[in-house]
Amino acid sequence: MRASYGLHAEKTTLLLSGGALGVGPTELIVERLKQLRHDAQTIVICGKSEDVKARVTRAAGSDAARFRILGYTDRMHELMHASDLFIGKPGGLTTSEALACGLPMAVFSPIPGQEERNTDHLLEEGAAIRCNELTTLAFKIDKLLADPARLSAMRRAALAMGCPHAARTIVHTLLDDRLPPLTLTPAAR
């Protein structure tokens, strides 16, 4: 999978998502990832904004070989399977996809409410790290990459939380349902 995206097969691979709309501090995060001490490659998803993609490409600068910069993609599942760590916001779909792929997360700037609760749950289960300040992002990721046992434990935790066959389970449950059909009386309608 990595080779099909022009990536080195054996290098640690990070997946940074700026979201479908490309909103967020993606170029700032790329600047921070350039400070990593570990030899890692990063897939950067810029979303639909060509402006964001151009700014991220400029931010990568002379370190462009360490980054594979993409626009919008409908192949996130492939990119997640090709990656060792997801960097991004813990929205519901993103979190579900990452967990289904057994992909640990490095979470930053969760939106109060759902994303905060998702973050808390991921941290409690050991499937994520949180970076409250982007200035410390490279330090926290370097620390994690220096501890392969911890990263492996996070991957196992993500796999344990994930439900990769949820749709199939729902369909089978509905088809196997032995309960009588639900009927409403005219008064109940």
pLDDT digits (tens, 9 = 90+) for 149-184: 999 999 999 999 998 787 888 888 878 877 777 777
pLDDT digits (tens, 9 = 90+) for 39-73: 999 999 998 889 999 999 999 998 889 999 999 99
In a domain, 183, yes or no: no
In a domain, 184, yes or no: no
The mean pLDDT value of the chain amounts to 91
**Exposed/middle/buried for 44, CB within 10 Å: 0-12, 13-18, 19+?**
buried
pLDDT digits (tens, 9 = 90+) for 108-134: 988 899 999 999 999 999 999 999 889
Closest of 81, 89, 48, 69 to residue 158, by C-alpha: 81
In a domain, 186, yes or no: no
* Domain, as residue range, for 98: 3-176
How many domains would you assign to the chain? Answer: 1
**Exposed/middle/buried for 164, CB within 10 Å: 0-12, 13-18, 19+?**
middle
Tokens matching residue 140 = 């926290």
In a domain, 188, yes or no: no
3 state SS of 15: strand
In a domain, 63, yes or no: yes
Domain of 115, CATH number, reads 3.40.50.2000
CA 161 to each of CA 52, 60, 103, 128, 172: distance values in angstroms, whole numbers, following the listed order: 32, 34, 10, 12, 21
Predicted TM-score (pTM) of this structure: 0.86
Q: Taken in order 71, 77, 79, 84, is the CA torsion positive or negative?
A: positive
Whole-number Å distance between alpha carbons of 57 and 76: 20
